[in-house]
C-alpha cells in the first residue's frame, strides 16, 4: 500500500522527512520565510514572539501588501507580518512564554494564520530566562507541561502544539522531559544538539541527540506512532541531514539556511550563486515593506562567518569572493533602495515610515575587528 504522507503535523517514521526553517531572532521576518519556501522548505517558523506582547496585538488586514499584520499596543510596531497565501498551512508561530494563560491568549491571536504554535524552551538569552521563558523551562518540566496543556486546550485541533528544547545533562532527563511534553499535548518535539548555555558553533552533541531519539523510539510506542522527533543544530550538508534522517522525522535548519538557503532544503538542487540569493531576498524585503534595518541585519547575517563552524567558513569565503562588493558596503547602506542598488535589483516604492519590529540593530555586531578588540 502506498504511504500517505502528512507533512504537518509530522507523523513519526514516515519516509518523507520534514525540512523546516528554524526560528531565529530578528532573521525570521516575512522575506526570509518566503525565500525559504521558494527554495523548498516544507514549514517555516516565525522568530520567537513574546507572549505577553503578542496577546496585546491587534490583527490588521494590510490591503496594500495583501498581508495580515499583528500590530502591538503602541500601534507603531508590527510584531508579525504574514502572507496568508504563501504561508497557508506552512507557518509555525514560536512563542516565548512563562505561564499558560498568557501563552494561550497570545496563541489565540494568531491561531487563524498558523498551522502550529511552538513553545520556545531553548533560548539562553537573559531577557528570556530572566522572565522564566526559554531555557528556564528546561529546569521546570511541570511548568512547561502546564503551558503546553493550556495551549492545547485553547487552540483548535487544526493547530499543532510543539516544543523546541535543548539537551539536559543526562540522556534520561532529556527523555523524561520529552515524554512529559508529549503527555501534555505536544505532537512534535525539536531537540537542539547542544546543552543549555552553549552557543553555536561550540560543542555540538549530535551523537547524544541520536541516543535520546533512539531510546525514545525503542522504549515508548508514542514516539513510533503519535509524537514526531525533529533534529536541530549543525546540519550544514546533505550528508549530515541524511544521517540524521535515519533516526528522526525531520530537521530544523537555522544557520545553514543563512549560509545557503538555495539548496539546503532540497537535496537535488545545486547551490545558487550567493548574489542571486541576496537579490531575491532584497526583492522580497521590498515586496513585504520590511524595515531597512531588519533587512540589512539579515543580509549581514548571510555574509557573516562568526557563528558557522570552521569547516564551513571556506564555503562562505568562496561565496564572498564571488560578490561584486565587500561586506563593508552592506554596513554603509541606510535604505532598502541602497541595498537594492548594492545587489543590483530594481528599487520599488516602499513605505516612507516602514513598520518597526521594535528591535535595536547595531552595525558593530558584525564588526569582527571591534568584537575581537572587545573580547567578543
Residues in the chain: 376
pLDDT tens series, the chain, 376 aa: 556 677 888 899 999 999 999 999 999 999 999 999 999 999 999 999 999 999 999 999 999 999 999 999 999 899 999 999 999 999 999 999 999 999 999 999 999 999 999 999 998 888 788 789 999 999 999 999 999 999 999 999 999 999 999 999 999 999 999 999 999 999 999 999 999 888 887 888 999 999 999 999 999 999 999 999 999 999 999 999 999 999 999 999 999 999 999 999 987 678 899 999 999 999 999 999 999 999 999 999 999 987 889 889 899 999 999 999 998 999 999 999 999 999 999 998 877 566 677 777 777 766 655 545 454 4
226 by DSSP, 3-state: which?
coil
138 by DSSP, 3-state: which?
helix
How confident is the model at residue 25, as a pLDDT?
92
Residue 147 contacts residue 117 (beta carbons within 8 Å): no
Of 155, 179, 183, residue with least CA distance to 165: 179
- What stretches of 166-253 show up as alpha helix (H) in DSSP? 171-184, 206-219, 222-225, 238-245
How confident is the model at residue 370, as a pLDDT?
54
The residues pairing with 376 across neighbouring beta strands, listed in sequence order, are none
How confident is the model at residue 352, as a pLDDT?
58
Close Cβ partners of 128 (under 8 Å, ≥ 6 residues apart): 48, 96, 120, 134, 135, 136
Cα dihedral 180, 184, 188, 191 in deg (nearest 10): -30
Catalytic residue numbers, as ranges: 123
Backbone angles phi, psi at 161, to 5 degrees: -110, 125
In whole angstroms, give the CA distance from residue 283 to residue 286: 5
The gap from C-alpha 276 to its chain's centroid, in whole angstroms, comes to: 22
The DSSP secondary-structure symbol of 22 reads P
The pTM assigned to this predicted structure is 0.94
Amino acid at each position: 500500500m502506498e504511504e500517505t504522507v502528512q507533512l504537518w503535523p509530522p507523523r513519526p517514521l514516515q519516509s518523507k522527512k520534514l525540512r523546516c526553517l528554524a526560528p531565529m531572532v530578528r532573521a525570521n521576518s516575512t522575506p526570509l520565510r518566503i525565500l525559504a519556501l521558494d527554495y523548498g522548505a516544507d514549514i517555516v517558523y516565525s522568530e520567537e514572539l513574546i507572549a505577553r506582547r503578542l496577546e496585546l496585538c491587534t490583527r490588521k488586514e494590510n490591503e496594500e501588501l495583501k498581508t495580515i499584520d499583528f500590530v502591538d499596543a503602541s500601534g507603531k510596531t508590527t510584531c508579525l507580518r504574514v502572507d496568508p497565501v504563501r504561508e497557508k498551512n506552512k507557518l509555525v508561530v514560536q512563542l516565548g512564554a512563562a505561564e499558560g494563560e498568557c501563552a494561550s491568549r497570545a496563541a489565540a491571536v494568531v491561531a487563524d494564520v498558523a498551522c502550529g504554535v511552538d513553545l520556545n524552551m531553548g533560548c539562553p538569552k537573559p531577557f528570556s530566562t530572566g522572565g522564566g521563558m526559554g531555557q528556564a523551562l528546561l529546569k521546570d518540566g511541570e511548568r512547561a507541561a502546564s503551558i503546553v496543556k493550556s495551549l492545547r486546550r485553547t487552540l483548535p485541533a487544526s493547530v499543532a502544539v510543539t516544543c523546541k528544547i535543548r539537551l539536559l545533562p543526562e540522556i534520561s532527563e532529556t527523555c523524561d522531559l520529552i515524554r512529559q511534553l508529549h503527555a501534555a499535548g505536544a505532537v512534535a518535539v525539536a531537540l537542539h544538539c547542544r546543552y543549555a548555555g552553549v552557543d553555536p558553533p561550540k560543542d555540538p552533541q549530535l551523537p547524544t541527540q541520536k541516543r535520546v531519539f533512539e531510546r525514545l523510539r525503542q522504549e515508548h510506542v508514542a514516539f513510533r506512532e503519535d509524537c514526531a522527533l525533529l533534529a536541530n543544530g549543525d546540519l550544514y550538508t546533505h550528508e549530515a541531514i541524511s544521517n540524521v534522517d535515519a533516526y528522526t522525522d525531520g530537521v530544523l535548519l537555522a544557520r545553514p539556511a543563512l549560509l545557503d538557503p538555495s539548496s539546503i532544503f532540497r537535496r537535488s538542487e545545486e547551490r545558487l550563486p550567493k548574489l542571486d540569493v541576496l537579490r531575491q531576498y532584497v526583492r522580497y524585503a521590498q515586496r513585504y515593506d520590511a524595515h531597512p534595518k531588519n533587512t540589512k541585519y539579515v543580509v549581514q547575517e548571510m555574509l557573516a562567518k562568526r557563528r558557522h563552524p570552521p569547516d564551513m567558513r571556506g564555503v562562505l569565503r568562496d561565496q564572498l569572493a564571488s560578490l561584486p562588493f565587500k561586506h563593508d558596503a552592506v554596513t554603509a547602506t541606510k535604505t532598502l533602495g541602497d541595498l537594492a542598488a548594492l545587489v543590483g535589483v530594481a528599487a520599488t516604492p516602499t513605505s516612507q515610515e516602514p513598520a518597526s519590529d521594535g528591535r535595536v540593530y547595531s552595525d558593530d555586531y558584525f564588526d569582527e575587528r571591534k568584537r575581537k578588540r572587545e573580547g567578543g
